[in-house]
A and B are shown apart, each in its own frame.
Chain A
Amino acid sequence: MLSASEHTPLLRLTGISKSFGTQAALHPLDLSVARGDFVALLGPSGCGKTTLLRVIGGFLRSDQGRVEINGADVTDLGPEQRPTNMVFQGYGLFPHMTVRQNVAYGLKIARTPAEKLSQAVGEILEMMHISGLSDRLPRALSGGQQQRVALARALVMKPSVLLLDEPLAALDLQLRKSMQIELRNLHREIGGTFICVTHDQGEAIALANRVAVMNAGRIVQEGTPEDIYQRPSNAFVAGFVGESNILSLTRQSGSCLLAGNIIPSSGPDGTVAMMIRPDDISLVEVKPAADISLYGQLTDAVFMGDHVKLIVAAETGDMLTVHRSRQAWHSDPIESGKRIFASWSRDACHILEQS
């Protein structure tokens, strides 16, 4: 049988709003995070994701709303009193302390007995693979190493919620990829609850098991990475998460018309958007009967490494982006300028209400 605490969310935000002067940074929003979740707050810069993270951490007081952690109201508590710990974007490592002193800082403040302290610090340094650096000062560390120290310093406090503010933004691409995998493993290993702010949709999808897409101070969609990618709820999410083709259509009495294709769609009459992922489109020479297709001309093929990006100028005037695997492209290339059909199945169409 599940205990009561496993039914209530670990973190619950209700009606959180925040303004800076006359500028609304967060419109009233709700968010629930279950124990063990890895949540990514994803959005462009200025969307309010970092503000939201700082409200959760207690660094900013929200104008309205409640923050509950483990069922307890922490709205009026500062960061020093909350069971949260944050990994800051610039890491915020204390420059006058060694790695070990940095990691031990929080436990020392909490007056942890020396023996317990050194054991806990030793374990976390081991876990983050930085035992060998324990006597170095932060300035003698690489970016990736500083990142590990910042993580260790927060994790040693065994926070109920670990907050990560653009944790990998300062690292180069190679390191970022390997740290992504490591963060995932870490989350699995210690089974904690992580909330991560990022503007990188690839990172959000790779790290998190739940993604909250934010725009202009609102959470516009929340769900699993697959949900967000496969079933974006509006044009903003479709455009922000992954590459997509968005075509503007007019809906009239339950169906949309696109260059001779009829796509049933229920809803009020008006302009809607249709989203198709570039990898759902295939290029064929004969017009397929069942699928939706647009006639057009291949204008460009760009080699992207693991795939080839094809640009098709469609008869409707839209430019379509189509992805093909490298192998498929090499075994069956199409020359630029050739006239072809871009086609996709009806399942691959997503009709998005204009919001």
Chain B
Amino acid sequence: MTLRTACWWTFGILSAAFLVAPLALVVAFSFGENPHATLPFGNPTLQWYRELFAGDDFLAALRNSAIVTSCVGMLSAVLGTAAAFGFTAIDRKVSRLGVQLISLPVMLPPLVLALALATAFSATRIPLGLGTVIPSHLIFTQPFVLLIIYARLTSFDRSLIDSARDLGASSLQIFCTITLPLIAPSLIGATLLAMAISLDDFVITFFTIGGGMTLPTLIWGMLRTHLDPTINALGTLVLVLTLGLSVIAFKLTRYRG
């Protein structure tokens, strides 16, 4: 190995360490006895997880996160797929414009989007709660489903649909027996991705939830009052859930980059 490549390797490893170290620390502290989140970690323990699960706040936040994430996942799957089918059926130029328009919220800074949503809800006197969090999340999760399914459909072999029609299948039968099974991996992956994005969103949830809590807003609340390793336990939990969903999603959609 030349000096040059050695330098690049060192730089790469240091960068990776810088990125991963905080996460590794959170995970490590959540399993250590030391209550001040300082080194040394202390003996391994599950004490913080026990305390976390004993708290009412956590269970309420977990319940809310579960409701929001699953609703957002399902709704963005249905809406994104419907939109993708619609866009593949119309003129290419129009559909490209439409897809870009729908994807716009992903490009916006979350804070601006959150502020806009909060303003809109208060102006129309819609009471804040999970009922406002779910549609707000849909605005920036659904484009991911749309883009993934749209890409899958544009490479879909038309002769399969022609063959099924030729063999007597109706549009609904073709969708259920041919199209859906073939796009299923992309669809499941896209849905999981939408769920992962929804699960760890803080900014938009914070502005649109009103009184309640989800897991990310609970972390924020806990940070303000006390800094003990139950936060680390909670952080680890959210990390595992989000990473798990994303890993499965990327595997299924073969999405790279």
Q: Which residues of A contact B (CB under 8 A)?
A: 57, 59, 78-81, 84-86, 88-96, 105-106, 109-110, 153-154, 157
Contact = CB atoms under 8 A, between A and B. Distances in A.
Given A90-B157, A96-B181, A80 B165 contact: yes
6 closest A-B pairs by CB: A106-B167, A92-B163, A92-B159, A79-B166, A109-B168, A79-B165
Contact of A110 (B163, B164, B168): B168
A78 B177 CA distance: 19
Contacts of B167: 80, 85, 105-106, 109, 153, 157
Interface of B: 157, 159-160, 162-170, 173, 177-178, 181-182
16 contacts: A59-B162, A59-B166, A78-B165, A79-B165, A80-B168, A81-B168, A84-B166, A88-B162, A90-B159, A94-B160, A94-B178, A95-B160, A105-B164, A105-B167, A109-B169, A157-B168
B161 to A, nearest CB: 9
Contacts of A92: 157, 159-160, 162-163
B162 to A, nearest CB: 6
A346 to B, nearest CB: 51
Nearest to B160: A92
Contact of A88 (B163, B170, B173, B177): B163
A154 B162 CA distance: 12
A80 B181 CA distance: 21
B214 to A, nearest CB: 37
Residues of B contacting A: mostly:
helix
A57 B168 contact: no
Contacts of B159: 88-92
Given A80-B166, A94-B164, A106-B168, 9 more contacts: A79-B162, A80-B168, A89-B159, A92-B162, A94-B178, A95-B160, A105-B167, A105-B177, A157-B167
Nearest to A86: B166
Nearest to A150: B163
A84 B157 CA distance: 21
B173 A85 contact: no
Nearest to A78: B165
Nearest to B159: A92
B170 A80 contact: yes
Q: In the complex, which of the residues B159, B164, B165, B167 has the most CB atoms of chain A within 10 Å of its own CB atom?
A: B167
A105 B167 CA distance: 7
A93 B163 CA distance: 8
Nearest to B169: A109
Contacts of A109: 167-169, 173
B153 to A, nearest CB: 15
Contacts of A79: 162, 165-166
Contacts of B182: 95-96
A91 B157 CA distance: 11
Contacts of B164: 94, 105
A129 B166 CA distance: 23
A200 B160 CA distance: 25
Contacts of B181: 96
A79 B165 CA distance: 6
Nearest to B163: A92
Contacts of A94: 160, 163-164, 178
